[in-house]
Amino acid sequence: MSGHDSSAGGVSRRGFLRAATGGAAAAGGVAATSGSAAAQAATVTVGPGGDLVYEPATVYVAQGETVQWEWDSNNHNIVVNAQPDGAGWEGTEGPETQTYNEGHTYEHTFETMGQYEYVCFPHSPGMAGKVVVNEDGSSPTPEPASGPPEIPDSAKTLGIATVFGMLSTLGLAYFFMKYGGDYGASE
Ligand SMILES: [Cu+2]
């Protein structure tokens, strides 16, 4: 009888420790997912308002997603300068000198992960763009405002661990108070 009570106390303590670990892991999970929620295909404006740029110059998409380019001024194209091995992106149709005008749209679906670099041939090298294809379409460095700094985050985790630690201690105290006699006798 007394041995059973003792082991109940031991299991309970281990349970509390497990709960503390789980709580910390859950807190970490929430922090990780909040940064990479929107993994959507991107739209790039070509020559916005006549400026000789692609806007945005770099887009991040997930494998299998489609990027669409929309011409906002004349005489631009997309010539691919670099891409991952095995990828067969060819840019806009026709030779390098073939350009397209305002209102034109072009899209490409990226099946191979990696980095793609392209230019507008008439306006290169200044007018250049990049497509980065990764697993979830997230950018590697989230905007400063969106991602919580690491120190408050780990402090939060520490706080949770402390709370679980206190609960664990209270639980043990409860078992000691209730089964104190049996506990001492069993060892
Ligand atoms: Cu151009």
* Same-domain pairing of 115 and 50: yes
* Same-domain pairing of 17 and 96: no
Q: pLDDT (tens digit, 9 = 90+) per residue, 38-68? A: 334 899 999 999 999 999 999 999 999 999 9
Contacts of 35 (CB under 8 A, 6+ apart): 138, 142, 146, 147
In a domain, 139, yes or no: no
The phi and psi torsions of 64 (rounded to 5 degrees) equal: 90, 0
In a domain, 140, yes or no: no
* Same-domain pairing of 12 and 68: no
pTM of the model: 0.56
Q: What is the domain range of residue 55?
A: 43-134
Q: pLDDT (tens digit, 9 = 90+) per residue, 3-38? A: 444 444 444 444 444 444 444 444 443 333 333 333
Gap from CA of 70 to ligand 1 centroid (Å): 12
Angstrom distance (rounded) from CA 105 to CA 124: 20
Gap from CA of 122 to ligand 1 centroid (Å): 6
- Computed over every residue of the chain, the mean pLDDT equals 76
Gap from CA of 132 to ligand 1 centroid (Å): 21
Query: Structurally, how many domains does the chain consist of?
Result: 2
Tokens coding 118: 């392209």
In a domain, 53, yes or no: yes
Gap from CA of 115 to ligand 1 centroid (Å): 21
The torsion defined by the Cα of 146, 151, 156 and 158, in degrees rounded to 10, comes to 160
Q: pLDDT (tens digit, 9 = 90+) per residue, 92-151? A: 999 999 999 999 999 999 999 999 999 999 999 999 999 999 999 998 766 566 555 555
What's the CATH number where 108 sits? 2.60.40.420
* Same-domain pairing of 51 and 124: yes
In a domain, 171, yes or no: yes
Q: Give the residue carrying structure tokens 């460095």.
A: 141
Q: Which residue has the higher pLDDT, 179 or 148?
A: 179
Gap from CA of 45 to ligand 1 centroid (Å): 11
In a domain, 8, yes or no: yes
Give me the residues paired with residue 79 across strands.
Answer: 119
Q: Which residue has the higher pLDDT, 70 or 160?
A: 70
